[in-house]
Amino acid sequence: MSKLIFERSSPGRRAFNLPGLSEAEKSCRLHIPGKYFREQPAELPELSEMEVVRHFVGLSRRNFSVDGQMYPLGSCTMKYNPKICERVAALDGFSSLHPLLPQLRGGGMLTQGALEVLYETEQMLCEIAGMDAFSLQPSAGAHGELTGMMLVAAYHRDKGNRKTRVIIPDSAHGTNPSSAAIAGYSVTTVPTGPDGDIDLGKYEAALGSDVAAVMLTCPNTLGLFERDISRIAAMAHKHDALLYYDGANLNALLGRCRPGDLGFDVVHINLHKTFATPHGGGGPGSGPVGVKKHLVPFLPTSIVVKRADGTFALEYDRAKSIGYIAPFYGNFAVILRAYAYMLLLGGNGMREVSENAVLNANYILAKLKGRYDLPYARQCMHECVFSATRQLAKGVHALDVAKALIDRGIHPPTIYFPLVVKEALMIEPTETESREQMDEFISAMLEIADLAERDPKAFADMPRTTPVSRLDETKAARNMKFSA
């Protein structure tokens, strides 16, 4: 059992060391009255630096990660995170830059390098997504969605439209309906048709003049390209409903197909997926939002502009802007990594990404479809979604399959999402997995399928190779122990 850091604490131990005060500084009396002081110092752990190091090194070794294992977590695009991107993000000239520095002189003259990074990233994203402008401020995909919905609202308000609803397919990620709701809209859910595309009839029926936007993921979360996308767009636009693109799955289209060309008005992109910035155990991410011309005036404050003399500036004075969605310019160090990644790949490399991501997924699909049920029997895009229904018949759940994979040294796919697939196993290898590694994964999956038929009870105590075995989630929810 791994001790909590608080359990390793011993009074008086210290890792910290701080500069001393000069006599002159020491002689200054604090002018803070006693009542403002805290009575007891916070009970933070007390350890030597080596003990801190061993603790966290030890914790790190209790994790699966992309650098350790194949991590085909569907919808999350767990591709390789190039190490050069870490190196550039650590450059002093970026990492030690105070965000208020631009305001100290002439709208950004003190941070031209950083502003150039932002500007060029926006320009590249415009080309990649087929949009007219980008804001890099959102901190993650969901944050981008919310920003997008606020842009939608601002657009309609500006036009005097009265809109109350957002249409979202039932296969959508939970953040989509949540973002729409949090932006003040009610959500109308449209079902998926039998072939995995949106049910067009039901979609048409759901549309109406009160619809502010339609939020789609494309390819959708079933890993399938929405084949009627042009009609879907046209139908939405007929009602002056805007089409929103959840860019979580852009890896499938990179360099080959652009959301802007498909008719989307607003998009967000997950830099931590398509553009290889590390996921950090659950963030930080970055979810830039791109828009077509008619939405540009509403973009968040500030935006980066290029002056006639080639210098860059931050523009704050924008009458129609929705305002501040982040304190500054977005998750700059994440954007910086993505920028480096884009330079590394270039236009040619990006096209290789989608080609290989889609090929890898179809390769897995082909190899597994005989043994796992495929709810929508079509070629897939960058991920393939199976159902463990056949295994369930023997009492083996998607969760069991997942735990068995852990014991085989592979991080499980996303399970139980999308919700429209029973016992979903959503597999996204990404373009960076090698054929050999995928073959290992495939063997493991086939072995698991065998085992499910032969000895379904064997799964109960998996995983066995991890520091803990299956954890009691009900107990966690009941006990409500959230801190030491």
Ligand X SMILES: Cc1ncc(COP(=O)(O)O)c(C=O)c1O
Q: In which element (H, E) is residue 363 found?
A: helix 332-368
- Residue ranges with strand state E in 94-251: 133-135, 165-169, 186-190, 211-217, 242-247
Q: Which is nearer to other proteins, 61 or 453 (CB)?
A: 61
Interface of this chain with ligand X, residues 109 to 168, rule: CB under 6 A: 140-142
Based on the shown chain and the rule CB under 8 A, indicate whether residue 209 belongs to the binding site for other proteins: no
> For the purposes of burial, counting CB atoms within 10 Å of the CB of 28, is it exposed (0-12), middle (13-18) or buried (19 or more)?
exposed
Interface of this chain with ligand X, residues 258 to 317, rule: CB under 6 A: 270, 285, 287
DSSP conformation letters of 67-95: TTS---BTTS------HHHHHHHT-HHHH
For residue 224, how many C-alpha atoms fall within 13 Å in the half-sphere facing its CB? 23
Q: Which is nearer to a second copy, 94 or 328 (CB)?
A: 94
Amino acid letter for position 77: T
- Minimal distance in Å, beta carbon 33 to a second copy? 36
Based on the shown chain and the rule CB under 8 A, indicate whether residue 57 belongs to the binding site for other proteins: yes
Interface of this chain with other proteins, residues 92 to 121, rule: CB under 8 A: 92-101, 103-106, 110-114, 116-117
Q: Which is nearer to ligand X, 70 or 140 (CB)?
A: 140
- Minimal distance in Å, beta carbon 58 to a second copy? 7
- Minimal distance in Å, beta carbon 59 to a second copy? 12
| Core vs surface per residue 56-73: b (16+ CB within 10 A) or e | eeeeeeeebebeebbbbb
Interface of this chain with ligand X, residues 32 to 61, rule: CB under 6 A: none
Indicate which single residue of 400, 412, 427, 451 sits in contact with other proteins (rule: CB under 8 A): 412
Nearest Cα residue to 169 out of 194, 146, 187, 145: 187
- Minimal distance in Å, beta carbon 364 to other proteins? 9
Q: Give me the 263-282 binding string for other proteins, x by CB under 8 A, dash otherwise.
A: ---------x---x-xxxxx
Query: Which of 15-21's residues contact partners 24+ apart within 8 Å by CB, and which partners?
Result: 15/47, 15/48, 15/49, 15/51, 15/52
Binding partner of residue 75 among other proteins, ligand X, a second copy, none, CB under 5 to 8 Å per kind? ligand X
Q: What are phi and psi of 313, to 5 degrees?
A: -140, 160
- Minimal distance in Å, beta carbon 82 to a second copy? 7
CA distance linking residue 232 with residue 203, whole number of Å:
8
Q: Which is nearer to a second copy, 61 or 105 (CB)?
A: 61
- Within 8 A by CB and 6+ apart from 323, the residues are 300, 301
Binding partner of residue 221 among other proteins, a second copy, ligand X, none, CB under 5 to 8 Å per kind? ligand X
Q: Which is nearer to a second copy, 303 or 340 (CB)?
A: 340
Interface of this chain with ligand X, residues 182 to 221, rule: CB under 6 A: 217, 221
Q: Which is nearer to ligand X, 285 or 375 (CB)?
A: 285
Which residues are at the interface with ligand X (CB under 6 A)? 75-76, 140-142, 173, 175, 217, 221, 246, 248, 270, 285, 287
